[in-house]
């Protein structure tokens, strides 16, 4: 049997656009004499549709779409994901389903059994789990049709009391199809292959796996759809971070080499570029504006934006204050020139002094402090947002994960933006990204990378005045955020007790700030935002 894999970038709720992409892929599969073409989980709606699923109209439009697509299936089978209505009185209103279309008809449905309800996933909020196991019989083959999480209850990933493929395997399928919506993080490509091979080893069956690609606000999908034989050898592997299409003969294909896995920093860079590009294109935006400080975060953000949108669509603004060093201005200018970006310089000293004079009668002659520092950051935010409003450019936020974690940023100032590019990238990895960007030629001036980080909101200020060394800070943050380790476990790893307690307190008492930040492109296993739900008012470690 010849099977086609269609790895597509969908837009949530774009029924006409998604439907046309799917139909085009069905036609392409037929032109290559495929017997079956497979699409991703919830392909019709896009993933994740979230509370759009609470609208019957939204779900009905999904169902209407597959009947239209079915008219193009003469001579070919189609497996495709969508939400479907569950009969009244049978649990939750919806099912997460895989439809099988063939010969102009919607012939059958297979429903998802395991509904993830952790990290970024919230599927049990909407869907009723499957409890009836069948195989798809098509052209003399028995196919085990599964949906994403249904293949993940293996090895150390056991989370459920039932394993769907244990049940389906009793029906003696010839191969497994898994339609998926597996979000990217920098560990996921390795974990995914391990899980695929664990299923193949357990059941002795070939596996066809089709994933989403593209960005849906903060969630990024890396694609890497693939086919493996019953020995776990790769027969076909589609690209990372791009739409792709491929056909494989399940009965005669020879093993090929696996794609080389991109390294952590390379994959983060590609994922962020895809995330920025998709955010703009799917929302109909064209140009970005960035406050370029001469620091490493805004420099890396500018490079990502230029690569994603084109240099002609990135406008950077230098906003020096009386505390800005000369080299920060010259470094920022050099970067803009290296990238070929349009830039302007708007000093904020007069704006700041105007605020200072206005507030002086009310500041009660208290000494210069955090309020005055934040006025500068907010003055920059006002200027950037004014330019954004005037010209319709989207402001990109440049804060990194280390800063976001400990609240080292100014609400309504440098935390402004329509999208946070580096909000899930620790400062240590931002430095590594800068080195990656410069591996062929110096794009980011060396001084930006080598100088001590500073907000430059007071004379001779350094980040190290307020924060631990970034190497130590990031290590502790990783243990707390990604690994969910408490203070005792982290201290047992060899970190100083006072340091650990200070960092964890900073994280917890600044939760209110993170609730007011722009969407953060997710590249780690645990990002701030939809995948990390913490109370604002709490006393734990505070």
CA distances from 265 to 229, 262, 271, 338, 435 (A): 31, 8, 10, 22, 10
Phi, psi of 438 (to 5 degrees): -90, 10
| C-beta of residue 358 within 8 angstroms of C-beta of residue 379 | no
pLDDT at 194: 95
Q: Of 2, 21, 62, 112, which one is the catalytic site residue?
A: 112
Beta strands across the sheet bearing 94-102: 105-111, 94-102, 77-85, 36-38, 2-7, 244-249
| Of 124, 120, 216, 138, the residue nearest 177 (C-alpha) | 138
**Helix, strand and coil percent figures for the chain, each rounded to 5:** 40, 20, 40
112 catalytic? Reply is yes
- Burial of residue 70 (number of CB atoms within 10 Å: 0-12, 13-18, 19+): buried
What φ, ψ does residue 240 adopt, rounded to 5°? Answer: -85, 140
For 163-169, what is the mean pLDDT?
97
Span 235-258, mean pLDDT? 94
Is residue 26 pLDDT above 80, yes or no?
A: yes
3-state SS, residue 81: strand
And the tokens for 118? Answer: 């952790």
Mean pLDDT of 291-302: 97
Q: Which of 187, 183, 264 is nearest to 433 (CA)?
A: 264
Q: 3-state class of 53 per DSSP?
A: helix
Instruction: State in Å, rounded, how far the first CA of the chain is from the last one.
Output: 60
| Residue spans of alpha helices (H) in 392-469 | 401-406, 427-437, 446-450
Q: Is 242 a catalytic residue?
A: no
Q: What pLDDT, on a 0 to 100 scale, did the predictor assign at position 460?
A: 72
Catalytic residue among 2, 21, 128, 148: 148
> 41, 237, 273, 373: which one is catalytic?
41
Q: Residue 453 has what pLDDT?
A: 78
Query: How many degrees, rounded to 5, is the angle at CA 186 between CA 184 and CA 188?
Result: 55
Element (H, E) at 7: strand 2-7
pLDDT in tens, 190-205: 999 999 999 999 999 9
240 CB contacts (<8 Å, ≥6 apart)? 189, 222, 223, 224, 259, 262, 267, 270
The whole-angstrom separation of Cα 369 and Cα 97 is 57
Average pLDDT over residues 366-372: 92
pLDDT of residue 262: 82
Mean pLDDT score across all residues of the chain: 95
Helices (H), 156-262: 164-168, 188-203
Of the listed ranges 179-188, 211-220, 248-257, 287-296, the least confidently predicted one is 248-257
Q: What percent of the chain has pLDDT over 70?
A: 99
151-165, 210-224, 275-289: least confidently modelled range: 151-165
Stretch 107-135: mean pLDDT, rounded? 97
pLDDT in tens, 428-476: 999 999 999 999 999 999 999 998 877 666 777 777 777 889 999 999 9
CB-facing half-sphere around the CA of 364: CA atoms within 13 A = 1
Rounded CA-CA distance 420/276 in Å is: 9
In the chain, domain spans: 2-261, 267-463
In this predicted structure, the answer to whether residue 286 has a pLDDT above a threshold of 70 is yes
pLDDT in tens, 339-351: 999 999 999 999 9
Mean pLDDT to the nearest integer, 95-120 = 97
Tell me how long the chain is: 542
Radius of gyration over every alpha carbon of the chain, rounded to an integer in angstroms: 26
**CATH of region 2-261, choose from 3.60.110.10, 3.80.10.10, 3.30.70.270, 3.40.50.1700:** 3.60.110.10
Q: Domain 267-463: what homologous superfamily? A: HUPs (3.40.50.620)
Annotation marks residue 243 as catalytic: no
pLDDT, greater one: 89 or 306: 306
pLDDT of the residue at 455: 67
- Note the maximum CA span of the chain: 86
> What is the enclosing helix (H) or strand (E) of 333?
helix 326-339
C-alpha distance from residue 382 to each of 52, 291, 305 (Å): 34, 11, 21
Mean of the pLDDT values across residues 104-119? 97
Q: What is the pTM of this model?
A: 0.95
**What's the token pair of residue 390?**
């005037």
Spatial distance between the Cα atoms of 302 and 378, rounded to a whole number of angstroms: 20
């Amino acid at each position: 049997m010849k099977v086609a894999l269609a790895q597509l970038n969908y837009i949530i709720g774009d029924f006409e656009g998604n439907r046309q992409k799917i139909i085009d892929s069905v036609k392409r599969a037929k032109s290559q004499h495929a017997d079956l073409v497979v699409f991703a989980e919830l392909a019709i709606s896009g993933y994740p549709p979230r509370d759009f699923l609470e609208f019957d109209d939204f779900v009905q439009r999904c169902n209407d779409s597959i009947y239209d697509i079915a008219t193009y299936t003469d001579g070919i089978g189609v497996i495709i994901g969508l939400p479907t209505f569950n009969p009244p009185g049978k649990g939750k209103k919806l099912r997460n389903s895989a439809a099988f279309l063939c010969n102009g008809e919607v012939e059958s449905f297979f429903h998802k059994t395991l509904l993830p309800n952790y990290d970024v996933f919230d599927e049990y909020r909407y869907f009723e789990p499957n409890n009836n196991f069948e195989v798809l019989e098509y052209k003399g083959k028995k196919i085990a049709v599964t949906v994403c999480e249904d293949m993940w209850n293996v090895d150390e990933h056991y989370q459920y009391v039932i394993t769907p493929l244990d049940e389906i395997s009793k029906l003696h399928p010839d191969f497994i199809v898994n339609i998926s919506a597996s979000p990217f993080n920098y560990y996921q490509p390795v974990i995914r292959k391990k899980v695929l091979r664990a299923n193949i080893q357990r059941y002795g069956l070939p596996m066809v796996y089709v994933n989403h690609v593209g960005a849906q606000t903060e969630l990024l999908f890396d694609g890497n759809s693939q086919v493996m034989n019953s020995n776990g050898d790769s027969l076909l592997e589609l690209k990372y971070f791009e739409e792709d299409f491929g056909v494989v003969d399940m009965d005669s294909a020879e093993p090929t080499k696996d794609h080389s896995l991109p390294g952590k920093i390379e994959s983060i860079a590609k994922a962020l570029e895809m995330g920025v590009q998709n955010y703009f294109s799917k929302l109909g935006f064209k140009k970005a504006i960035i406050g370029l400080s001469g620091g490493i975060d805004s420099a890396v953000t500018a490079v990502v934006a230029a690569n994603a949108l084109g240099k002609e669509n990135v406008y950077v603004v230098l906003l020096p204050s009386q505390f800005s060093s000369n080299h920060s201005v010259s470094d920022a200018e050099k970067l803009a020139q290296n990238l070929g970006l349009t830039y302007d310089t708007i000093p904020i000293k007069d704006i700041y002094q105007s605020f200072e004079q206005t507030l002086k009668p009310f500041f009660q002659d208290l000494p210069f402090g955090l309020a005055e520092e934040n006025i500068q950051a907010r003055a920059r935010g006002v200027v950037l947002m004014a330019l954004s409003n005037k010209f319709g450019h989207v402001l990109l936020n440049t804060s990194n994960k280390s800063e976001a974690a400990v609240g080292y940023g100014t609400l309504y100032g440098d935390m402004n933006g329509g999208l946070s590019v580096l909000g899930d990238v620790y400062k240590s990895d931002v430095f590594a990204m800068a080195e990656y960007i410069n591996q062929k030629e110096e794009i980011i001036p060396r001084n930006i990378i080598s100088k001590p980080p500073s907000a430059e909101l007071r004379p001779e200020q350094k980040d190290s005045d307020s924060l631990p060394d970034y190497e130590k800070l990031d290590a502790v943050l990783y243990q707390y955020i990604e690994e969910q380790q408490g203070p005792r476990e982290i201290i047992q790893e060899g970190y100083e007790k006072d340091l650990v307690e200070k960092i964890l307190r900073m994280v917890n008492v600044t939760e209110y700030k993170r609730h007011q930040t722009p969407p953060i492109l997710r590249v780690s296993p645990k990002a701030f935002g939809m995948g990390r739900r913490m109370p604002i008012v709490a006393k734990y470690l505070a």
